């Protein structure tokens, strides 16, 4: 499907004013607030969250009675940093804490009876969840039978009826007075920390708790939450703390990846750090990621960083193996001619399929659905799409999924054994239905046309707008009349390309694109080609300006 690009109307001479207006930020006061996040001003009162008062009182009681506490976190790069953060804080104020992370493949997401039984046997009387719990009816009931109270801190959409937990702290709850619903799981747990400190400083110097913001910022940048309002503040200050290099595990990982902590960006977090934290649970070792983030010994931190990097290499091997099998099946089956690519294998790990789907979607320019089996009979999958909204596509099917959700370009689903074999035909039908209604024509807005000579000036404004993510997308630019003087592949498997570009004024720039070939764009990127280049501007690892190429038209 051909992409259509349309330039936003240019209303101001100043680039940054136009970019802010395109993000709904207008007026002098609003612009100042967005560009200069304020820790106190952007932190809302934690006691406006539902059940916060009773949760704080229950934790204070646990401290008084020397009760064992468990922080039960999800196994992704929201739950793990959030779990480490809350565990560290509770220990610092005198609690005996166990951090429990369920095994992705053996236990699955959320609370489970076996884990609760184990904790009950250890004498745990209170479980605090991170990034889960809002829909955990069975687990909450089982904990109650075992004499364990559950405090939920979560950000997922709540059902009409809630589990019978002691407290459920979730900004999305009906009737919540909290003014911002976009917090990630670790962000909600952070509000619990703030609330506890408002009741009792526990000897903490004023502001000392901000050192925990590296973990909150890591989670906020890693999860698909809007980087506006309170999240923008948490992400910005989280990066500030991460750049100090105070956490030995994170410092060791950055050193191993040859990333300077002092210049760490959201792209470094999103493309290099988060995938390694997530790889731990995908490859059955979430505790290693948690141990790395919580490490205090420099030598131990370096060893854990090496372990985590090795796990990530293993994950890459699994992804490459599945991608190879998928590509072979695509060629043999003729599925590549379909509007939607759908494939699965009971032996494929659902936890890595999003990465494979992304590679295939980029290569073939169409939605890709891949499924595998997880935890017995559950068939789960991931979907990635370079153009079509995956949510619209899945919504247009006839009740073929057990569950599904996601964002425009990515999502997940579960499907029964009975329905999985008809999944491809049903998605193809849904795609054609949407296409017939004209709902698949994609138009992408480009923020501004730039000459290559303007890139360094644009970067100054972008630095003020960062960090970028959901709700504050990285600005997209059009570079007209570009000539391509050379193109080369790089990376272990030649998966990425770099091009040397010039314009009619004689200015030059490097351009690059990850997981792309010269044929990945509407116009082939080859020596001697002329095209309008659509892309982002950024600094490379040496601090030199370049274009991250999105398309050539």
Structural domain boundaries, residue 472: 4-33+445-552
Q: The domain that contains 515 carries what CATH number?
A: 2.40.50.140
Contact 142, 113 (CB under 8 A): yes
Give the pLDDT of residue 118.
97
- Clarify whether residues 472 and 418 are in a common domain: no
- Clarify whether residues 151 and 28 are in a common domain: no
Residue where the block lists tokens 């057990």: 402
Residue 199: alpha-carbon gap to chain centroid: 32
311 domain residue, yes or no: no
Residue ranges of E strands in 9-155? 68-73, 96-100, 124-130, 149-153
Q: How many residues does the chain have?
A: 553
Q: Tell me the C-alpha distance between 550 and 331, whole Å.
A: 26
Angle between helical axes of 137-145 and 113-121 (0-180°, round to 10): 30
Handedness of CA 312, 314, 320, 321 (dihedral sign): negative
Confidence of residue 104 (pLDDT cuts 50, 70, 90): confident
Give the pLDDT of residue 168.
98
Contact 549, 525 (CB under 8 A): yes
Confidence of residue 252 (pLDDT cuts 50, 70, 90): very high
Measure Cα distances from 80 to 135, 203, 306, 499 in Å.
19, 26, 18, 38
Q: The domain that contains 168 carries what CATH number?
A: 3.90.1640.30
Which range (232-246, 389-403, 429-443, 474-488) has the least confidence? 429-443
Please choose, from the candidates 484, 489, 486, 495, the residue with its C-alpha nearest in 3D space to the C-alpha of residue 552. Answer: 484
Confidence of residue 351 (pLDDT cuts 50, 70, 90): confident
Give the pLDDT of residue 470.
86
Domain's final residue, options 436, 457, 481: 436
- Clarify whether residues 200 and 93 are in a common domain: yes
- Clarify whether residues 462 and 479 are in a common domain: yes
The answer, yes or no, to whether residue 103 has pLDDT greater than 80, is yes
The number of C-alpha atoms within 13 Å of 46 and in the hemisphere containing its C-beta is 21
Domain's final residue, options 436, 462, 485: 436
How does pLDDT run across 29-70, given as a tens digit for each residue? 999 999 999 999 999 999 999 999 999 999 999 999 999 999
Q: The domain that contains 346 carries what CATH number?
A: 3.10.310.30
The answer, yes or no, to whether residue 11 has pLDDT greater than 70, is yes
Q: Tell me the C-alpha distance between 394 and 403, whole Å.
A: 10
- Clarify whether residues 53 and 193 are in a common domain: yes
230 domain residue, yes or no: no
- Clarify whether residues 23 and 106 are in a common domain: no
Please choose, from the candidates 2, 49, 287, 377, the residue with its C-alpha nearest in 3D space to the C-alpha of residue 189. Answer: 49
Give the pLDDT of residue 4.
87
- Clarify whether residues 8 and 152 are in a common domain: no
- Clarify whether residues 112 and 138 are in a common domain: yes
- Total count of domains within the chain: 3
Average pLDDT over residues 484-492: 92
- Clarify whether residues 178 and 82 are in a common domain: yes
**For residue 65, what are the contacts with CB-CB under 8 A and spacing of at least 6?**
none
Average pLDDT over residues 166-177: 97
Show the tokens assigned to 145.
């039978």
Give the pLDDT of residue 87.
98
395 domain residue, yes or no: yes
Domain's final residue, options 436, 466, 499: 436
Q: Tell me the C-alpha distance between 129 and 167, whole Å.
A: 10
**Rounded mean pLDDT of the chain?**
93
460 domain residue, yes or no: yes
Q: Tell me the C-alpha distance between 479 and 538, whole Å.
A: 14
281 domain residue, yes or no: no
Show the tokens assigned to 388.
């079509």
Average pLDDT over residues 197-204: 94
215 domain residue, yes or no: no
Which range (47-56, 111-120, 163-172, 389-398) has the least confidence? 389-398
How does pLDDT run across 319-346, given as a tens digit for each residue? 999 999 999 999 888 787 899 999 999 9
Give the pLDDT of residue 376.
63
Q: Tell me the C-alpha distance between 355 and 7, whole Å.
A: 31
- Clarify whether residues 362 and 462 are in a common domain: no
Give the pLDDT of residue 542.
84
- Clarify whether residues 102 and 184 are in a common domain: yes
- Clarify whether residues 23 and 98 are in a common domain: no
Is the link from the previous residue into 467 a cis peptide, with omega within 30 of 0?
yes
The answer, yes or no, to whether residue 476 has pLDDT greater than 60, is yes
Q: Tell me the C-alpha distance between 499 and 523, whole Å.
A: 14
The answer, yes or no, to whether residue 438 has pLDDT greater than 70, is yes
Q: What is the pTM of this model?
A: 0.90
413 domain residue, yes or no: yes
319 domain residue, yes or no: no
Q: Tell me the C-alpha distance between 470 and 407, whole Å.
A: 10
């Amino acid at each position: 499907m051909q992409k259509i690009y349309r330039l936003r109307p240019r209303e101001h001479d100043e680039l940054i004013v136009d970019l802010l207006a395109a993000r709904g930020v207008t007026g002098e006061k609003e612009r100042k607030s967005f560009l200069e996040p304020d820790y106190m001003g952007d932190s809302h009162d934690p006691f406006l969250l539902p059940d916060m008062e009773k949760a704080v009182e229950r934790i204070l009681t646990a401290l008084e009675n020397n009760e064992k506490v468990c922080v039960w976190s999800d196994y992704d790069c929201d739950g793990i940093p959030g779990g480490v953060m809350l565990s560290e804080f509770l220990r610092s104020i005198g609690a005996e804490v166990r951090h429990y992370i369920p095994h992705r493949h053996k236990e699955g997401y959320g609370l489970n009876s076996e884990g609760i039984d184990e904790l009950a046997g250890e004498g745990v009387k209170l479980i605090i969840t991170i990034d889960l719990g809002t829909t955990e009816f069975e687990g909450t009931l089982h904990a109650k039978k075992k004499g364990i109270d559950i405090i939920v801190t979560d950000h997922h959409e709540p059902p009409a009826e809630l589990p019978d937990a002691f407290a459920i702290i979730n900004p999305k709850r009906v009737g919540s007075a909290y003014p911002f619903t976009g917090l990630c799981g670790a962000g909600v747990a952070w509000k619990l920390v703030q609330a506890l400190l408002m009741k009792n400083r526990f000897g903490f110097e004023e502001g000392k708790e901000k050192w925990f913001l590296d973990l909150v910022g890591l989670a906020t940048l890693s999860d698909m939450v809007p980087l506006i309002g309170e999240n923008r503040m948490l992400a910005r200050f989280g990066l500030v703390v991460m750049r100090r290099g105070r956490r030995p595990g994170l410092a060791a990982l950055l050193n191993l990846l040859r990333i300077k902590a002092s210049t760490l960006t959201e792209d470094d977090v999103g493309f290099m750090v988060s995938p390694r934290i997530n790889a731990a649970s995908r490859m059955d070792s979430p505790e290693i990621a948690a141990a790395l983030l919580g490490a205090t010994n420099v030598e131990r931190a370096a060893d854990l960083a090496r372990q985590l990097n090795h796990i990530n290499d293993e994950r890459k091997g699994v992804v490459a193996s599945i991608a190879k099998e998928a590509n072979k099946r695509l060629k043999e089956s003729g599925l590549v001619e379909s509007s939607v690519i759908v494939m699965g294998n009971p032996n494929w790990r659902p936890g890595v399929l999003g990465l494979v789907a992304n590679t295939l979607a980029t290569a073939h320019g169409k939605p890709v659905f891949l499924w595998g089996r997880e935890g017995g009979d559950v068939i789960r999958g991931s979907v990635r799409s370079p153009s079509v909204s995956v949510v619209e596509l899945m919504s247009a099917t006839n009740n073929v999924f057990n569950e599904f959700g996601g964002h425009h370009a990515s999502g997940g689903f579960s499907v029964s054994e009975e329905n999985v074999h008809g999944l491809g035909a049903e998605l193809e039908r849904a795609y054609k239905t949407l296409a017939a209604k004209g709902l698949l024509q994609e138009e992408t807005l480009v923020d501004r046309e730039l000459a290559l000579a303007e890139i360094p000036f644009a970067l100054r404004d972008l630095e003020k707008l960062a960090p970028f993510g959901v709700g504050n997308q990285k600005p997209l630019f059009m570079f007209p009349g570009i000539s391509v003087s050379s193109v080369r592949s790089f990376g272990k498997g030649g998966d990425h390309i770099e091009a040397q570009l010039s314009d009619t004024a004689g200015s030059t720039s490097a351009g690059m694109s990850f997981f792309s070939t010269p044929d990945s764009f509407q116009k082939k990127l080859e020596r001697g080609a002329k095209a309008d280049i659509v892309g982002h501007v950024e600094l490379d690892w040496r601090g030199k300006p370049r274009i991250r190429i999105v398309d050539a038209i």
